[in-house]
Amino acid sequence: MAVLFLFAWLFAAPAFAKPQLAYGAQGVFKIVQFTDLHFGESPALDAQSVQLMRSILSSNDIDFAVLSGDMVSGYAYPRGTKPTGWYAARWKQLIAPLHEHQVKYAMILGNHDDEADLTRREIVELDMATGANLSYTCQGPTMITGATNYWLDIADNDHSDVSAGRLWFFDSMDMGCKGKDYSWGCVGADTVSWFSDEGSKLPHVPGLAFVHIPLCEHLSAWRYGTVVGSKFEPVCCPRFNTGLFLKLREQGVTSLYSGHDHDNSYSALHMGVRLAYGQKSGYGSYGPARSVPGARIIVMKKGEQTSLAETWIAFPNGAPYKQTTKQSSISAFQLRCAAGPHLPRRVFSSQALHRERSWLEQWSGPYPQLLSSGVVLLACGAMIILRSRRTRRDRSTARPVGRFRGE
């Protein structure tokens, strides 16, 4: 590991010499969001994911790529043999298409990335060591929660150092927001304070942010916002609100894109902020429901609030899919943020690796609500049947009344 950190230092040292991100000649900065790639479950699935990335990168004129978490299925790590370099091998495979197409990129961590042989900060160091001049990933401050908390400025043009846009990246960890193991992870309150402090020191420019686990407001946005796209599973957001949404609004960051929920891909405008999911991009793990893996394209325009940015879903065949309707299913019904995997973790069998969310995790999704609703309905049905039978029995044994009395 010492060698890894040495390589990271050698590659990271000249990082400041990397070309400044900048809007193009037409004042456009085009981003592709790859989320939940889930490499590491099988060579065949990984090969499909690589081909998907190549296809989307070759059919779209991309300025920048964002890997928004769960790039590797850390739970697929062979815990019996504990091979060294397992995560690094998966990582090199998944960034290969970006290097082939010479696309600059940055990443944030998801809830499964650090379940293998590297810690969160070691994964960041790995990318800084292997990404060469294409990786713009930064090691976030050590005094706040998470590793991938940082920002990147976008210059007015290639020949300017004047900031005209900004990308923010937040680490939502894995689980246990505020130390509660029944909640999904969240952007820590200390990180939100850091963001507020840093943002107030920077020039005010249109901002766009990325996080892996959606915010509580993603659920509110589905209910009350202007929505297009699909929701085919509950929003797995933290049970505690650490205030990031309000701070985003204060700092003029009017878009936040997430991943995590593979069967959700909706985009909602809520209180002036666009809260959107990426399209689940990898062939590992489950989903996306009623669709196929793809990526989200986001077109930032100079001087325009990012909530107004044009966005669509890109599929491997190159055809853009612009969402125009709102779709959901009964399995996605929920009253509050779905609880996190609060039961003890288990080692997944090889036969079950294609299912990221085992029954332990899904048990805390829609099923408790559906189960409780089903129990209530069954109980009501049973009461109606019993009451009906009792009424018929009472009628058959009742004494005659009225004019028939005495017959």
Tens-digit pLDDT profile for the chain (407 aa)? 444 444 444 433 334 468 899 999 899 999 999 999 999 999 999 999 999 999 999 999 999 999 999 999 999 999 999 999 999 999 999 999 999 999 999 999 999 999 999 999 999 999 999 998 999 999 999 999 999 999 999 999 888 889 999 999 999 999 899 988 889 999 999 999 999 999 999 999 999 999 999 999 999 999 999 999 999 999 999 999 999 999 999 999 999 999 999 999 999 999 999 999 999 999 999 999 999 999 999 999 999 999 999 999 999 986 789 999 999 988 888 888 876 654 333 333 333 433 433 333 333 334 444 444 554 456 566 666 666 666 565 555 555 444 434 44
Q: Looking up tokens 């990168």, which residue turns up?
A: 57
* pTM as predicted: 0.81
Phi, psi at 151, each rounded to 5°: -140, 160
Range 377-393 burial, b when 16+ CB lie within 10 A, else e:
eeeeeeeeeeeeeeeee
Output the CA–CA distances (angstroms, integers) from residue 69 to 85, 211, 366, in the order listed: 19, 8, 23
CA separation for the pair 303, 48 (Å, rounded): 38
The CATH number of 2-332 is which of 3.60.21.10, 3.30.420.40, 3.30.70.580, 3.40.190.10? 3.60.21.10
Task: Give the contacts of 380 (CB within 8 A, at least 6 positions apart).
Answer: none
CA separation for the pair 132, 319 (Å, rounded): 31
Question: Contact at 8 Å (CB) between 167 and 199?
Answer: no
